[in-house]
Amino acid sequence: MVADHGRYNARKMRLWFVCCALVAANAQEASLLDQVKARAGENLRRLPNYTCTETIDRFVDRGRFRRLHKAPVRLDVAYVGGQELYGLPGSGKIDEPDITKFVDRPIGNGQFALFVKSIFFAQGAQIGLPIETKLEGQQSFRFDYRIPLEFSGFRIQSAAGEAFVAYSGSFWVTRESLDLMRLIVSAQDLPPQIKIASDGQTIDYGSASIGGALFRLPVRSRWETRDAFGWFARNTTTFRNCHQFVGESVLKFGGPEPSPPPK
């Protein structure tokens, strides 16, 4: 009887140690996610207004004998006050928030901050536990996430209409510095009225010097969509020559500049 009681206490002790270990592991994983969010938040908080040149390579497949590579499109894109603005290279201004004014559909945007803000900082984001892995040979952590419709700012536009949709995917951060490496976004529960069967993009990040400091910025993205009729489109975008607005900026808002006062 004494021996049985001792074995019972030993089992209770082992279970207690297992429970403590699980609690400690969950706390450590939660702490890791908090560190990832803090790292991403610091990057966005310190990030000054800047501009890049983006080149969009476009491919459209509309069925047999209708596959074509469209001519690449070059735009100036600026990240200003948390907003993406576009302009034509050499036009002297970057002030258009709607990229479709320069590029015909299908086209996507939001690479600079829309998804990062929603996933890391918006209410309602559901983020899973970290998974140790490698990305392109580099030690990393992968997190899976989901953004429900009621908390989503992801809007999909098509020739048939537009709608806000839920989305999900994964993101990777470096194991050492917790810097963002890659973000995958996949639209979920697409409403039938917009005639889009699938929509998603992969954004790769790298380090860039802006204003003498290093930041994590998008360096390339691949956006793919397929409509309800089977037509497929892919845009591959690269970002280069990123720099801070200094002195006389090419960024202009509104109408013509006011005339100088009379002397």
pLDDT tens-digit map of 102-148: 877 666 666 667 788 889 988 889 999 999 999 999 999 999 999 99
Buried b (16+ CB within 10 A) or exposed e, 222-261: ebbbbbeeebbbbbbbbbeebeebeeeebbeeeeeeeeee
CA distance 236 to 58: 7
Mean of all residue pLDDT scores within the chain? 81
Amino acid 154 reads F
Peptide bond before residue 106 is cis, with ω within 30 degrees of 0? yes
Count of beta carbons in the 10 Å neighbourhood of residue 28? 10
pTM for this entry: 0.79
pLDDT tens-digit map of 138-174: 999 999 999 999 998 888 888 888 889 999 999 999 9
Query: Does residue 26 carry a pLDDT above 60?
Result: no
Most trustworthy range by pLDDT among 12-16, 35-39, 122-126: 35-39
Could you tell me which residue, 255 or 126, shows the higher pLDDT? 126
Could you tell me which residue, 4 or 217, shows the higher pLDDT? 217
With a CB cutoff of 8 Å and minimum separation 6, the contacts of 65 are none
CA distance 263 to 254: 26
> Mean pLDDT, to the nearest integer, of 3-22?
48
pLDDT of residue 246: 56
Strand-strand pairing, 196-210 and 180-188: antiparallel
CA quadruple 190, 195, 198, 203: dihedral, nearest 10: -90
> Closest by alpha carbon to 34, among 100, 170, 127, 118?
127
CA quadruple 77, 81, 83, 84: dihedral, nearest 10: 0
Domain limits, the chain: 31-244
- What share of the chain has pLDDT > 90, as a percent? 42
pLDDT of residue 62: 79
pLDDT of residue 122: 82
Planar angle of CA 52, 53, 54, nearest 5 degrees: 110
> Mean pLDDT, to the nearest integer, of 21-26?
39
CA distance 131 to 144: 9
pLDDT of residue 257: 43
Query: What confidence category does residue 193 fall into, taking pLDDT thresholds of 50, 70 and 90?
Result: very high
Query: What confidence category does residue 190 fall into, taking pLDDT thresholds of 50, 70 and 90?
Result: very high
CA distance 114 to 182: 14
Pick the CATH number of 31-244 from 2.30.30, 2.50.20, 1.10.10, 1.20.1740: 2.50.20
Query: What confidence category does residue 20 fall into, taking pLDDT thresholds of 50, 70 and 90?
Result: very low
